[in-house]
Amino acid sequence: PNPRWGAPPNESYNALLRLINDREYFVLTSNVDGCFERAGFDPSRIYTPQGDIKNYQCLAACASDSVFDTKSLMDNIRPTLHDGVIDASLVPSCPRCGSPVFLNLRGGGWFLPGKYEAQNRAFVAWVERMAAEGKKLAIVEVGAGFNTPTVTRFPCESIARDLSGALVRINPTDPEVPTDIAAVGLPAGHEILHDLEALQEHVAATDDPQEGQQGKGTAETSMGGDWKAMMAMLR
């Protein structure tokens, strides 16, 4: 089954949502499995620049909107599956031009990003509003490495720099943080969100904002870059 519907989000999504509580937020994620939405995050506050497996598309990109619903396709195919094999007549193809199809995921020049452009612009507008209103911004980044760093890792650094925000980088293998921004690198997996939740409750109970502060992780050289330009490249 398509994991967009068959695999429940892990508990760390719920821990993050509880950490946010009633604060304003926007999710920028390279995940394509809809876990944030299914865990209860507001879909209007989620941007998935790498696509979403709830959609499939024409590999020939015959039109900018040749993107279709995966669930209805799978619902039709699943009853015919036998040992993971379907009849050749049911192999999906583009409803418009008959070309081969694939999940609507960023993986080459054939990717059609139109479904996600509105959320791209909404995310940019939200960050700009946070800056204009002088809001204090905390960026919690989980598992953003160097596979596609211009999608999440570098934009998070740039936003923290532009807005004088704070970056919490959670990454078991690449926790390094730039030295020119307020940042801490935690060499751990997503499970540490539960510890941060407990720490937040402790700080709230003691009413001491200095409680539980942690030092910075190993420094890395800032790669620079403008987050707005990176967002524009994803459209």
| CA dist., res. 4 & res. 216, Å (int) | 36
CA distances from 18 to 23, 196, 200 (A): 10, 11, 10
**Stretch 18-29: mean pLDDT, rounded?**
96
Q: Angle 192-206/11-20 helices, nearest 10 degrees?
A: 30
- d(CA 109, CA 72) in angstroms, rounded, equals 26
The model's confidence at residue 224, banded by pLDDT at 50, 70 and 90, is low
| Mean pLDDT, residues 51-71 | 97
Residue 216 has pLDDT above 60, yes or no: no
pTM: 0.88
CB atoms within 10 A of CB 56: 22
Which of helix, strand or coil describes residue 159?
A: helix
Portion of the chain with pLDDT greater than 90, in percent: 76
**For 159-170, what is the mean pLDDT?**
96
